[in-house]
Amino acid sequence: MAEITRLSGCSDWIELEFVERERTPSELMRLGIRLHLAGLSLSNTVKELEKFGVQRSRKAIHDWVQKANLQPASDASPDQIAVDETVIRTDGQQYWLYAAVNPLSNRFLYIRLFSTTTTALTERFLQELREKHDVEDAVFLVDHAQHLKTALQRVGLRFRTVRHRNRDAVEHIFREIKRRTSSFSNSFSHAEPITAESWLQAFAVWWNSLN
């Protein structure tokens, strides 16, 4: 499996506990998941797997990513957290992607997809982030969006307004997410929000594996 290693690097972060009677070797399933999250379309991932004698459909690879249920790790204690939101489109509708990123490690801490953006939903995002990580002593880096500041004040978390520098990490990640979701428009054109969110969370885990 030397060529698999060359193509994919380490894939230990991909758990395959969902596998029961899958006919594809686990190493190749991990390769398929990783290649797709790393930037290959489902069609091109199918072609790569065919080089190893495995013929699977685009839907099969899509289902592997969904069933793997990849989530960013919990229990971090960051000193700073860059938090922001951006708009993406799925099935012709706008959705708001919320993300919290450790700007020092460039790793996702938490990510969610909402159908709208409000102060109440921002509070919900922050409370869920708080349940997953030790954020009480962290300083949140935000832009001039008032609802972010209001939500942080309401939940009792410290923040500082920063336009660039350490906030560049989350803005760079958002640019990559938008590039990827637009290039995978066929994957997102009929996706339910929960399916799109699952893919985005899996992308976050892949991203973290590089940092």
Tell me which amino acid residue 162 is: V
Give the pLDDT band of residue 1 (cuts 50, 70, 90): very low
Assess whether pLDDT exceeds 80 at residue 207: yes
**Cβ atoms of 84 and 68 closer than 8 Å:** no
- For 142-154, the pLDDT digits (tens) are 988 899 999 999 9
Instruction: Enter the tokens of residue 1.
Output: 């499996």
Q: How many domains does the chain have?
A: 2
- What kind and span of H or E run contains 93? strand 93-102
Domain of residue 160, residue span? 80-190
Tell me which amino acid residue 163 is: R
| Within-domain flag for 11 | yes
| Within-domain flag for 103 | yes
**Cβ atoms of 107 and 164 closer than 8 Å:** no
